Amino acid sequence: MKINDYPARPYIAKAIAFFSILMGLAQMATWAVLFSLGKVPEIVTQPFGTWLLLVAEFITGLTLVFGGYALLIRRTWGLHLELAALGMLLYCTVYSTGVFGQLGNIPAAAFFAVVALLAGLSISVGLTIEDIRR
């Protein structure tokens, strides 16, 4: 099935792309603010693991932004990058749901659970799109 076979497909692809870009920017901005305000105490107690976590989070954020943009401008590789980025987001949000749930922070756990659900739904819908080119 090609994206242009159904009138709704281009809009769905755009919605997925915007969701991805928004999540990528939000993820990077959140970590930048937390780090600049000194709200990442693990950087002192567990520096190696925390730096690797930050690198992974920023790689995920950048991949979400680039994947979403590539999907918007209909690059042939855009959908593949977008699906990989959404998979990375799904992993991050499922993990974060567990972390915040364990800490008893139910609102944060619920937020990450919703984002994980949306990421999984975006992946499922994205897998139905074979070709986003005209």
Gap between the terminal Cα atoms of the chain: 13
Place 22 in a pLDDT band, splitting at 50, 70 and 90: very high
Mean pLDDT score, 113-126 = 95
pLDDT in tens, 55-100: 999 999 999 999 999 999 988 888 999 999 999 999 999 999 999 9
Count Cβ atoms within 10 A of the Cβ of residue 75 and give its class: 0-12 exposed, 13-18 middle, 19 or more buried.
Answer: middle
Q: Can you spell out the DSSP letters for 52-71?
A: HHHHHHHHHHHHHHHHHHHH
Cα(84)–Cα(80) distance, rounded to whole angstroms? 6
Tokens linked to 97 = 């749901």
* pLDDT computed for residue 9 by the predictor: 67
Q: Is the per-residue pLDDT at 3 higher than 70?
A: no
